Structure 1
Amino acid sequence: MKRIKALLLFLMVLFQILTFIYFFINVVTAFYLIAFNVLCFILLMVIVIMERVKEKREEDDDDYSNY
């Protein structure tokens, strides 16, 4: 999961830089890059939420407040 998150973060930064450059060259391509950036952001949020749910389940399993 760490590699996927790192890859998505790298792609988001790359798409942002390319979008800035392509706004001066080709606006249509810049909008496609923005769409890819949003897609990477959504995927990253899904992965973070899935990890948090998994951590929460592990915390609930290790809960010894019954004693």
Structure 2
Amino acid sequence: MRQTPLFSGILYIVLGLFFTYFAVQDLQKNGEWGIFTYLLVILATFDFGNGIRMILFHFKIKTIQKNKK
């Protein structure tokens, strides 16, 4: 079974939400920004960016396929 860009994009968004949640939890636990918190925020940023890009790519493919028919 092939994985569509839409599914990948949603998966990246969910991972970004998890990393954001864990970053907030770590910040509340420690009370200050540590290296682990920064790492989680960076990972969340990359995941959100990739998720949005994959979802937009999915719709671009759909538009191209629709115009070919």
TM-score normalised by the chain length of structure 2 = 0.72
Give the number of aligned pairs: 62
In structure 2, the residue matched to 1:57 is: 64
Percent of aligned positions that are identical: 8
The CA distance in 2 between the partners of 1:34 and 1:4, in whole Å, is 20
| Runs of 4+ displaced beyond 4 Å | none
1:20 aligns with 2:27: no
Asked whether 1:44 is paired with 2:51, we answer yes
Alignment-mate amino acid for residue 30 of structure 1:
T
Structure 2: which 5+ residue stretches go unaligned?
Answer: none
Query: Which one has the largest radius of gyration?
Result: 1
> Taking structure 1 as the reference length, what is the TM-score of the superposition?
0.74
Return 5+ residue gaps in structure 1 as ranges.
63-67
